[in-house]
Copies of this chain bind each other. A is one copy, B any other.
Amino acid sequence: MSQPFNIRVYFEDTDAGGVVFYANYLKFYERARTEFLRDLGYEQDDLLQQNIVFVVRNIHVDFILAARFNEQLQVYTRIESIKKASLVFKQEIFCQREGQSRLINEAVVKMACVKADVLKPTPIPAPIAVSLQQQQQREQDS
């Protein structure tokens, strides 16, 4: 599995229950996917200028443990499958507690590649598809 993306829990992320508000885990996952693409060499503002954007088609999230204010989280992102115009990510959030790494949240995210102006499906551009497949291969090998 590749290097995790680190996220600090700030006041903005929490709610009156004292823990991270449930919708905000989706922000964390989105940040981690952005950094995943950046690590592969793709900047989403460049992609937008090429009229390409990846949008979430569906997501399944399991809220296992609640992240608390000021905790440091590690978000792992890997590719589960790639198709012509879509791909599926598996993402997991861990937190260090009492010296142990605990899984606190996990998600499966199906994304579609769409034309940014009309939001209609379009094939993943070839260089990106190749990068994604190579990354998936590296993950399977490691």
**Copies, count:** 4
- Contacts A12-B21, A12-B27, A34-B11: A55 and B63 contacting too (C-beta < 8 A)? yes
Residue A30, interface by CB 8 Å: yes
Sort chain A's interface into a size bin.
35 or more
A22 to B19 alpha-carbon distance, docked (Å): 17
Q: Which residues of A contact B (CB under 8 A)?
A: 8, 10-12, 14-19, 21-24, 26-27, 30-31, 34, 43-45, 48, 53, 55-63, 66, 68-70, 116, 119
Give 20 A-B contacts (CB < 8 Å), ordered by A residue.
A10-B30, A10-B31, A11-B16, A11-B17, A12-B15, A12-B30, A12-B31, A16-B48, A16-B69, A22-B59, A26-B26, A43-B70, A44-B70, A45-B68, A45-B69, A55-B66, A57-B63, A59-B59, A59-B61, A60-B61
